[in-house]
Every structure is written in structure tokens, then in C-alpha cells.
Chains A and B, each alone.
Chain A
Amino acid sequence: MNMRNIWFIMKRELSGYFATPVAYVFIIIFLLLTGFSTFFVGNFFERGEADLYPFFSMHPWIYVLLIPAISMRLWSEERKNGSIELLMTLPVSVFEAVLGKFLAAWAFTGLALLLNFPLWITVNYLGSPDNGVIFAGFLGSLLMAGGFLAIGACISATTKNQVIAFVLSLIVSLIFVLSGYGIVLDFFSGWAPTALIHAISSFSFLTHFDAISKGVIDIRDMLYFASVIMVWLFANAIVVNARKAD
């Protein structure tokens, strides 16, 4: 694998985000949603605790809605305007292209996440939080965003239509979140064997993210997100190879 190629593809893709207003619109909406959910849904002030739990706990839901908007264009746009033929006839391997594009989207999401730093300043001003826990929260959120992006990138390669890519990614992402949600697990708990319920909930982003966002950095949760990313990117490469010329 040629790291230079991955870097160049990532750089090109990233500059593509900022060539249009999409990047700015996304960042603003992301900050509005995180802010809103922290203060109004998560009751940041009313809780009276110096941490960012209300901020992080809403991230899975915000990502379900917003990440597909970033990932939808990754491959469907290339397929629609034919530039995929150009990209795939440059001396670049499919996996280098898949990785470069994914890393660009991930870096962009990371930037949007970092722009929430005023919240961190606020909580440090108001009290003395455990900054290790907050760091873990950011790390976990970033990893989870990577998982959503990998799902979206793979789905984006299946269609030339960005709207279809968006809707499908949203649904699949939702499934990955909901499988750990109380209501869904209650639905199974009456009749399904415990092992199955554990299996379902262990597939959920929610289950793994919750632990990290509370400051528990468990290597298994990290491995979970890393493998979700790898599996979906691997599938992404297969889909690109199979569908690029359609």
C-alpha cells in the first residue's frame, strides 16, 4: 500500500469539502445540534455536574442524522460524473482510494468535533472536571464517527444517487444504534435466548460508546469500532470494484 497515494487522495477529497459551502453548512448544523442537545436535552446546567456527559450522550443520534450527509457523496458522486473512471485508471489501488476518501471524511468530522472546544472551556471554567474522562469521550466519539462513516462510504459506492445513499446510510446507521437501545432489547427479552440479546446489543454502537464516554477506555470497545471500520471499508473496496463501471 502506497501511503503517498492515500495522502494525496485524502488531500484532494478534503479540499473538495471546502470548495463548496457544504463543509461550512455541515459544521454549523453540527455545532447547533450538539449545543442544543447538550443544554436542552441533556440539561447541562441543571445536572450541576462538571462533566460533558450530556454533550457526548447525544452524539450517536446526531451522527445517525449528519454523518450520512458527509459520506453520501464519497463514491456516488464519482460514479455519477464518471470521474471514477479517471481515478481507477490512475496508478492507485482500490484500497488506497477507499482509505484516502474515508480518512478525508474522518478528518473533516474530527475537525467539526474539535470545534466544540468552547464547551470544554466552559466546563473547566465552571468547575473542575476530570479531563481524562472528557478526552476519552472525544476519542470514543471520533471512533464512533469513523464507524458511521465507513458504513456510509460503503453504501455510497452502491449507488450513483446521493439521496439514495443518504437514506440507506441513515437506516443502516440507525439499526447499528438501535440494536443497543432499551426498547429494542425489551422486544427480544421476553422470548429470545440471553445469548442472542447479548449478541444484538454487543453489535450496537451505543453499548460500546457509552462505556468510553463515561471515561472507561476498554480495549475491547476500541477494537470493536476499529473492526467495524475495517469490515465496512473492506466491503467498500469490494463494492467499488464490482460496481465502478456500471
Chain B
Amino acid sequence: MTLRIEIEDLAKHFGAIKAVDGVSFSVKKGEVLGFLGPNGAGKSTTMKMITGFLAPTRGTVRVCGHDVLTDPISVKACLGYLPEGAPAYADMTPDGFLRFIADIRGLSGADKKRAVASAADRAQIKTVMFQPIETLSKGYKRRVGLAQAILHNPPVLILDEPTDGLDPNQKHEVRTLINEMAHDKAIIISTHILEEVHALCTRNVVIANGQIQFDGTPSQLEAMSDYHNAVCVSVANVDGNAFATFLNGLEFIAKIETLSANRGFRIYPANGRQITLELAQVIRGNGWEIDSLYTENGRLDEVFRTITMGATGSLRSST
């Protein structure tokens, strides 16, 4: 089976508030799905329904082929879950805590020992294994939660903001860990750190107001940016006005923008296509010397804002 998580028309209403309202998507083995959206968009609520913590108002969730409503224990057995804020038993040590999780996950004897040691090693908490969890820093607490989620090597991982509150080094380590595990698992990660879209995800779902606003690859997400394929160029020893006039005359350019402090111009292509090579050729053809030239991929924060503020409505790519 390749489809590990199947979600159909999932909804959760709290009274009149529609926290999640008709969400459908699926995650395959090998996929890392980045779940993006502003705070309160319904990310955590959706994850709580997938993991069987919250009962949906309507819709179905299947994990590894098991329906979360009719067979919640099988669903919970095949997934690892890091809840938001990485809750744990504060008075326990990571060692005691992980051994408890291993017991509940049905591991015993040498398997249990190996699973605890391996999870502690991969989450890098070996140095704090015998300190009460309540005395640990935020970063360590998060990693204890992560160790707990990966302990039984589950085929499905649901991680609610796994890098929240970590310093840049710790973030890097957690991302490396997730990337290492990605090939044989189906993973859902919620985040609002946009740099993780490229660092971690093979696919993104953007959710706002309880509904899916985008479902596609990180590149497709970037392609929605106004800056996608825009070229920043500056040329040496040429009068700015003359250069601008020249650029405005080119038919493959939609508009140009003057960058501050004589750093040249940002050029937006017509129809969003790749114009970098073409542009370089015509500039050189004019005998001008290029100082700098680079293509922008697109700005995720701008796309994120556009999508989640509802300006573009529902944009679903075809994948």
C-alpha cells in the first residue's frame, strides 16, 4: 500500500465555528507533507482528528488502511505523534518516559532497550536521559517529544510544529533527522516557518479558515509568487534612464522596478516565463557589461500572505 493517510471531507465544528471545514488530501509513503497556514487555520485540529484525539464532525480519516472511527487503536499503533507543545510527564526522566512509551507500544526486552537507545540517539537527548523532564530546556523537551514519536519506527509520523522554539542548530538537526526518515514513512509536518517548505517538504498543503487553499509541490507554491522568475539586473557604466527605456521596449517584459541604492532593476517577465538567458543576450547584444544578474524563485511569504488572506481564493494545482 502506498497511500498511508487518506482524508476525505474532514470537518470539525465547535458550535458555530468551523475550525476545519471539508478538508481532503492523502499522503503517500516517502512524502513529507508540509501543512502550512496561519495560527488558528485548523492545522492542529486536523492533526488531532488524524491521530484520533478529536472526533470529527463529519468526514473520514484512514491511516494505514484503518478507519480512525471504527478502529482507533490500530490507527494509533501505526503512527507516531508529536502534539503541539510536545507535552510529556514532567516528573519523569526521558529514560523512564521513553521506556513507558516502549511498554505501551508493545516493545519488551532487548527490542525495548534498542528502541529507547536508538530514539534517544536520533533525537540527541542521550546527555539528559536521567534528568526530570521539567528541568529540561524547551529544545530538549521538544526533542524528548520527538524521540517518543519515532520510538516504535512508525510508518506514519504526524509532527505538530516540531521545530518551534528550537535554536538554528537544533532546527537543522531536527530537519536532518526528518529527512533521514522520510524515504520509508509518510510524514505530515505543520509549520509556519516558511524556510522549512524547501528544507523538508516534498509537498505542501496550505490551509486557511478551515479549508485547503493550495495543494502542490514547493516549486508550484513559489511559482504563484509575483516575483517568480523575476530577474534583478544591474549594468555597468550606463545611464539608468536609458537602460530603463531600453528594457521597457522589450516585449517579453511585463514591467520593471527600480531597486534602491543603484542596485539596478527588477524585471518582471510577461506570463511568468523564464527570461534570464534571453535578457542577458539582448543586454550583451547592446554592448553593455552586466554587473550582476540573478533570477528570483518567488517569495513564499508573499504567496503565503496572498493565499491565506483569501485574495486569490482557492488555488489548487493539478497534482
Interface residues of A (CB under 8 A from B): 4-5, 8-9, 11-12, 15-16, 19-20, 81-86, 88-93, 244-245
Kindly list chain B residues whose C-beta atoms are within 8 Å of the C-beta of A9: 104
Q: Does the CB pair A88–B53 fall under 8 Å? A: yes
Q: Which positions 78-112 of chain B face chain A at CB distance < 8 Å? A: 79, 81, 83, 85, 87-92, 96, 100-101, 103-106
Check B122 for interface membership: any CB of A closer than 8 A: no
Q: Among A4, A5, A81, A89, which residue has its beta carbon within 8 angstroms of that of B90?
A: A81
Q: Does B76 sit within 8 A of A, measured CB to CB?
A: yes
Interface SS majority for chain A: helix
Q: Which of B48, B52, B104 contacts A8 (CB 8 A)?
A: B104
Contact check, B81 vs A91: say whether CB atoms are below 8 A apart: no
Residues 122-136 of B at the A interface (beta carbon under 8 Å): 132
Quick one: given A8-B100, A15-B96, A245-B54, are A89 and B81 in contact (CB under 8 Å)? yes
Contact A245:B83 (CB < 8 A) given known A12-B100, A90-B104: no
Q: Are A81 and B87 in contact (CB under 8 A)?
A: yes
Please list 24 pairs of residues, one from A and one from B, whose beta carbons are closer than 8 Å in the complex, sorted by A's number. A4-B103, A8-B100, A8-B104, A11-B103, A12-B89, A12-B92, A15-B92, A16-B89, A16-B91, A19-B132, A81-B90, A83-B87, A83-B89, A85-B83, A85-B87, A86-B87, A86-B88, A90-B76, A90-B101, A91-B74, A91-B76, A92-B73, A92-B76, A93-B73
A85 contacts B101, CB within 8 Å? no
Is B51 a contact of A89 with CB atoms below 8 Å?
A: yes
Asked if B225 lies at the interface with its beta carbon under 8 angstroms from chain A, I say: no
Contacts of A93 in B (CB 8 A): 73
How far is B20's CA from A237's CA once the two chains are assembled, in angstroms? 26
Which of the residues A5, A11, A12, A82 comes within 8 Å of B83, measured between beta carbons? A82
A20 contact set on B, CB distance < 8 A: 91
Q: Which residues of B contact A12 (CB under 8 A)?
A: 89, 92, 100
Residues of chain A contacted by B79 (CB below 8 angstroms): 89
Q: Flag whether B148 is at the interface (Cβ < 8 A).
A: yes
Determine whether the beta carbon of A19 is less than 8 Å from that of B91: yes
**Is the CB of B309 closer than 8 A to any CB of chain A?**
no
- Say if the beta carbon of B290 comes within 8 Å of chain A: no
Q: Which residues of B contact A245 (CB under 8 A)?
A: 48, 53-54
User: What is the chain A residue whose CB lies nearest that of B152?
Assistant: A91
Instruction: Kindly identify, within residues 151 to 190 of chain B, every residue whose CB is under 8 Å from any CB belonging to chain A.
Output: none
Q: Is B194 an interface residue (CB 8 A)?
A: no
A91 touches B87 (CB 8 A): no
Q: Complex Cα distance A58/B81, Å?
A: 48
Neighbour of A82 across the interface among B73, B85, B132, CB < 8 A:
B85
A-facing mask of B34-54, CB < 8 A → 1, else 0? Answer: 000000000000001001111
Q: Kindly state whether residue B77 has any CB partner on chain A within 8 Å.
A: yes
Alpha-carbon gap, A15 to B148, bound state (A): 19
Name 12 extra pairs, CB < 8 A, besides A8-B103, A89-B81. A4-B103, A12-B100, A15-B96, A16-B91, A16-B92, A82-B87, A86-B83, A89-B52, A89-B53, A90-B105, A91-B106, A92-B104
Residues on B with beta carbons closer than 8 Å to the beta carbon of A85: 48, 53, 83, 87
The smallest beta-carbon distance between B43 and chain A, in angstroms, is: 15
Chain A minimum-CB-distance residue to B79: A89
Across the interface, which residues of A come within 8 angstroms of B81, CB to CB?
Answer: 86, 89
Q: How far is the CB of B266 from chain A (nearest CB, A)?
A: 46
Q: Which residue of the partner chain A has the closest CB to B132?
A: A19
Q: Compute how far the CA of A211 lies from the CA of B85 in the bound complex, rounded to whole angstroms.
A: 51
> In the complex, A5→B257 CA distance in Å?
65
Q: Give the chain B neighbours of A4 by CB distance below 8 A.
A: 103, 106
